[in-house]
């Protein structure tokens, strides 16, 4: 390398570095609303979930999930495609053989980022146990999908339920008021928290099994 070449390199390198530092950051990738076909496919997934709940057929929806699907359930439990079955069986065990579980999925506009889509919305559930007790509640959800082999495949999900304003807490509160009376609110909350903790630990142990 000649002295002239070294001089040119020493001159250009600082200039290139300065240009890189001063250059504006690349624009963030914007999302699109997707094609009609994209949105129709996602609506079909929502109907598939509704049918699976009504017909007590988890596999109908389970087969649409990616093999590596992961999710956080409304109970704050982590689940994959296989362990969802245990949660599903647990819920139906509470409902009873002659009970009914109906759900309605109300999605918001999905955001598409190339081969990734982020869907979210609200699902309204109505549960009637075989003893005639009825529960109505709604929960929020987010679902991440990836275009695999030409179809939108759910790869990750998250569900959340109001921890205080749902009918299960209201039913527990009514039971505790009967048990402890109007002045036993604090004791009721303590017992309620303990019972909830025991149930959660038991279910998590089942999920890991």
The predicted-structure confidence for 74-128, as pLDDT tens digits, reads as follows 877 899 998 888 888 888 888 898 999 999 999 999 999 999 999 999 999 999 9
User: Is residue 117 located within the same domain as residue 88?
Assistant: yes
Using CA atoms, how far residue 115 sits from 27, 45, 88, 142, 192, in Å, is: 19, 17, 30, 17, 45
Do 64 and 123 fall into the same domain?
yes
Strands 151-160 and 134-148: antiparallel
Are residues 59 and 137 located together in one domain of the fold? yes
Q: pLDDT tens, position by position, for the chain (209 residues)?
A: 444 443 433 444 444 434 444 445 544 568 898 899 999 999 999 999 999 999 999 888 999 999 999 999 887 789 999 888 888 888 888 889 899 999 999 999 999 999 999 999 999 999 999 989 888 889 999 999 999 999 999 999 999 887 666 666 655 555 444 444 544 444 444 445 544 554 455 555 544 55
User: Residue 144's domain spans which residues?
Assistant: 36-161
Please say which residue of 161, 181, 200 terminates a domain: 161
What H or E segment, with its residue span, contains residue 176?
Answer: helix 167-180
Same domain membership, residue 173 and residue 95: no
Same domain membership, residue 95 and residue 51: yes
CATH number at residue 91: 3.10.450.50
Cβ atoms of 64 and 45 within 8 Å: the answer is yes
Same domain, 136 and 177: no
- Whether 146 and 116 have beta carbons less than 8 Å apart is answered as yes
The neighbouring-strand residues paired with 128 are 100, 134
Whether residue 148 sits in one domain with residue 56: yes
In this structure, the answer to whether residues 131 and 84 fall within a common structural domain is yes
- The verdict on 132 and 43 lying in the same domain is yes
């Amino acid at each position: 390398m000649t002295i002239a070449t070294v001089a040119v390199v020493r001159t250009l390198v600082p200039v290139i570095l300065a240009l890189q530092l001063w250059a504006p950051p690349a624009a963030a990738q914007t999302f699109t609303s997707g094609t009609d076909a994209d949105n129709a496919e996602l609506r079909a997934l929502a109907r598939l979930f509704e049918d699976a709940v009504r017909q007590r057929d988890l596999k109908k929806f389970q087969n649409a999930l990616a093999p590596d699907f992961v999710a956080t359930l409304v109970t704050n439990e982590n689940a994959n495609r296989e362990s969802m079955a245990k949660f599903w069986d647990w819920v139906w065990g509470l409902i009873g053989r002659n009970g009914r579980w109906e759900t309605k999925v109300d999605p918001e506009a999905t955001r598409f980022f190339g081969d990734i889509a982020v869907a979210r919305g609200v699902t309204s559930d109505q549960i009637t146990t075989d003893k005639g007790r009825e529960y109505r509640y709604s929960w929020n959800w987010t679902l991440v999908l990836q275009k695999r082999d030409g179809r939108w495949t759910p790869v990750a999900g998250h569900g959340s339920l109001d921890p205080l304003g749902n009918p299960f807490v209201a039913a527990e509160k009514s039971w505790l008021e009967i048990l402890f009376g109007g002045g036993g609110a604090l004791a009721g909350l303590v017992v309620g928290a303990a019972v909830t903790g025991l149930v959660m630990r038991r279910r998590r142990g089942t999920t890991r099994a």
